[in-house]
Amino acid sequence: MAETTMTAGSPLDARPDGLQGVVADWSSDQRAFKNVSWGKAMMWIFLLSDTFIFGCFLLSYMTARMSTRVPWPNASEVFALHIGGANVPLILIAIMTFVLISSSGTMAMAVMFGYRRDRRKTAALMLLTAVLGATFVGMQAFEWTKLISEGVRPWGNPWGAAQFGSSFFMITGFHGTHVTIGVIFLIIVARKVWRGDYDTGARGFFTSRRGNYESIEIMGLYWHFVDLVWVFIFAFFYLW
């Protein structure tokens, strides 16, 4: 049987072996991020890494809850508000969830009007999204204040398993930080939209080439991710 020999200068000779070859193949693939800007690609990579972090937090919470021998606090009692002489379970959490999910709708509309280059409606909807996000953070601060006044600490609580306090403050605090950062950037980008920086191509942070409103879509990716993470926190922490 004749042996096939590679001629000198063949493209296969220049390709490295092993892991370096995999990296070279991936980096040379024109289909991986075709027609996707660096800003959008980097946001997706950031969101993927953040997904791992939130996933580890929720897995740690479930592990702590299932492994403890001390009774876990009843969420319906812990997160109840005293209204009209009766305790209403999870009413604050339900309102917080409604506010945050509604902000996803306003953000989606802002992206739509951004690509239509309607800067006034885009800026108004982004500011409305920021207001809803700030409202969520304010209600979360009220929730924290209420539980701290009732004796909840990262190292214990009056209702049972000590891990409840640390899990609560870690998970909700990390998510609340994301929402707060999102609100700040929403205001910054909305201001640039209102001034017409994306129409004139004015130089500065978060400004792309003239007529390109892609920054609003990138901001929307982040905001929808924050909202989606809250759905999992709501299901695992408050309803379980």
Cβ(205)–Cβ(213) under 8 Å?
no
| 135 is a domain residue | yes
Residue 82 β-bridge partners: 87
In a domain, 30, yes or no: no
Task: Give the 3-state DSSP-derived string for 83-134, with helices as H, strands as E and coil as C.
Answer: ECCEEEECHHHHHHHHHHHHHHHHHHHHHHHHHCCCHHHHHHHHHHHHHHHH
Q: What is the pLDDT of residues 194-210, one digit of tens each?
A: 988 887 766 666 665 55
Domain assignment present for residue 123? The answer is yes
Q: 29-43, 44-58, 180-194, 216-230 — which is least confidently predicted? A: 29-43
What is the structure's pLDDT at 4? 43
In terms of DSSP H, where are the helices of the chain?
11-14, 18-28, 38-67, 75-78, 91-115, 119-149, 163-195, 197-200, 214-233
Whether residue 29 is contained in a domain is answered as: no
The DSSP symbol for 82 reads E
> Domain for residue 228, yes or no?
yes
Segments forming the whole domain that contains residue 233: 38-238
| 127 is a domain residue | yes
Q: What is the pLDDT of residues 45-95, one digit of tens each?
A: 999 999 999 999 999 999 999 999 999 999 999 999 989 888 899 999 999
Is 231 within a domain?
A: yes
Specify if 224 maps to a domain.
yes
> What is the tens place of the pLDDT at every residue in 149-187?
999 999 989 999 999 999 999 999 999 999 999 999 999
Percentage of the chain surpassing pLDDT 90?
65
Helices 163-195 and 119-149: crossing angle, nearest 10°? 160
CA 37 to CA 23: how far, in whole Å? Answer: 20
Rounded to whole angstroms, the Cα distance separating 62 from 45 reads: 26
| Residue among 186, 188, 166, 168 nearest 226 (CA) | 186
Question: What is the total count of domains within the chain?
Answer: 1
- Residue 125: give its domain's CATH number: 1.20.120.80
Q: In angstroms, rounded to a whole number, what is the distance separating the alpha carbons of residues 193 and 215?
A: 10
**pLDDT: which is higher, 230 or 198:** 230
CB of 218 closer than 8 Å to CB of 40 = yes
